[in-house]
Structure 1
Amino acid sequence: MSTTPIGSYRLFQKLHPLSLLAQLTSRRTTGCLSVFTGTVSWSIYLEDGKLTYASYSDKLFERLDSHLRRLNQHFPSLDNATRVQMRLMFEAKNENQSIPYADYQAICWLVDQEYITPPQAAMLIDELAKEVLESFLSLKEGNYEFNPDNSLNELPKFCHLDLRLIVEYCQKRLRNRQNIQSSIPSVGGSQVLPGTVPKLPKSNFIPIEPRNNITAQLPVRKSLYTIACIDDSQTVLNSIKHFLDDSTFSVVMINDPVKALMQIMRSKPDLILLDVEMPSLDGYELCSLLRRHSAFKHTPIIMVTGRTGFIDKAKAKIVRSSGYLTKPFTQSDLLKMVFKHVG
């Protein structure tokens, strides 16, 4: 298939999204259409006029995570811990740390690590594209540019979507929403909309095989992490084990700090969760002992405590702990801390 180049251009005017998409599709264009409104942007990736991905900068990973949870019945191996790790790996903390097409790279990583299959990735991309293009078709003004050299930088492609079918679906949803809005009387100056959502049509994606040599560049994840938890409270140990999914973590529970060193030597954990306040041997002393051993000089050691004072955190630094987790903590707090050091 030949591609008709349309160059790179940028206009500041009223937007006609439908006409713009029709032009790119009819010319069987390859590249990326970027649309800006000042605060947010849309990126629409094409190959020979077919859609390979569509992204919208506002709440990028919230949207991806929402669709992953919504399609949970199709992705049984994709648990909460994995989604948290995915976001920690690819979601930028600020603009200076932005990763190119981070959400698409995250999907590639999920496929590469076999959490989802290529056809499931195609299904996910299809659902994301509908939401992104629906918002894009509602635009009235902005500016845009087309870059024929930017086609997801040779990352694997999981589908080629028919833009015409997606646009027809989005237009139908927009018309339905407008009809609902016009038929519902205003209450106190605003309209009350029902919470129903039109049934989704059948997916129109064409799954294709990914390029395995490209996915090798993505971060590699271990299949199972060993986490040693040292705490004199069995309740705390049980809670941590409950929070850490069995398919991702092997949890070694140790409730006697005196025997901890030998048990840690045997288990060789990827990360150690260490309670500060324990009888016989407190967490700071045990951390110091572990750091003196060559096998644990670089093993992440997280101090777990209810103390939040400056002196306590200073002690943790002195004994070269890797982090500080304050009790009480949620599952999300624990997973973020763990994946920060072992992901």
Structure 2
Amino acid sequence: MQGNLNEIDIRSILQLIELGQRTGELFVETYSALPTVSRIYPSVHLSRDAASQNSWFVFFFNGQIVYAAESRDGNLGRLRDYLRYYQLNNVLDGIERPDLASTNAPEYGFLWHLLETHRLTPMQGRSILRKMIHETLFDLLSLHQGSFIFDMGPALAPQLTTLEITPSIAKIAKQVQEWKQFYPHVQSPNQCPSISDVDRLREALPPKAFTTLSRISDGKTSLRQMSRYLHREIVPIAKAIYPYVKQGWVQLFSVQSDSSPAAKFDSGLRPPTARVPRIVCIDDEKTIRKTVEYMLEQHGYEITSFGSSLKALSLVFPLKPDLILCDIAMPEPDGYELCAMLRKSAAFRQTPIVMLTGKDGFIDRVRARMVGASDYLTKPFGEQELLMLVEKYVGPGVPSDRPSSETSFDDPELGL
């Protein structure tokens, strides 16, 4: 199985592997254009000379995830960061490359060596491995461009643990959506905070929280490293520091180097001056229209809905939407006919049109494609399912300046 991410997204690929109970390795490759050109102009295709290559891989056993990482270059920086939580900062020093590291991912081999030599307990090893997988999934679910290939083969062995795909991607997809609320103040997990107003920050934080933040906000330690050191997810870390970045008391710096993934992370976010994506929803069911409006508006999309296909046909042209969601089962003209009519107009030949229906049959999908539909979404659908599909075609929305809920840096969940 192989293809491009503009044809099928990472979430769907993972679900196919889970449904087929496949064993093997998924390899994902993407190119990040220089100075955010690809984010601002997604239709521009740069040559490989003008972009940096990034890759990720995920190992599976019977449709469950065994291990995942960003690259296979043997860099043990991530593992060292996680070991720091257990006061094992220097445990890798002097260790010869294990035999397992020669045949599998080096990082995984060294982790297994620490278990065999009883420097890590199985519980600690499983905790580190789960966080490594979640970290990799966070980056993968943030991608909008790239290519992939899945090779069936023998399982990565020995296995320390396995993670079910569906609950894992549901959790991480929610984190990806929450992360986008911090833009443009926080743009990448690999940005490094540095305190710019010590006095105000000291007044705002409890002494223990201020001491902790001061110690790790050195302009060299990234938000992602902080999450590793504290053994916490990246979103609570960003949410905790966000108010002080917004106030200007803490500044974030991007460290660009070959060993740092700061330049590699493709958040898919728009620049602060980007136009709000405009979505049109055409459905004769009021409940569906209101649900779509609620789901999309809170995530930074402009949404206009119509309960009649005839009314939509007369009013949709001046709106110039970036994406059209169109129900199939409507009074004449139905969704198929409406889609075909829109495709005959030069104004909508390239506009993504997604068909909404309660039917989930192969014939309906084929017919939708025949009339020019870009995709197909079966009702009922969830918020994350809708958002992932919308982002696939028009990118993320433009969020408001304020996250839905604030978290202080002395949040007890952070252990500070």
Q: Normalising by the residue count of structure 2, what TM-score does the alignment of the two structures yield?
A: 0.40
Q: Normalising by the residue count of structure 1, what TM-score does the alignment of the two structures yield?
A: 0.48
Whichever of the two has the greater Rg, that structure is: 1
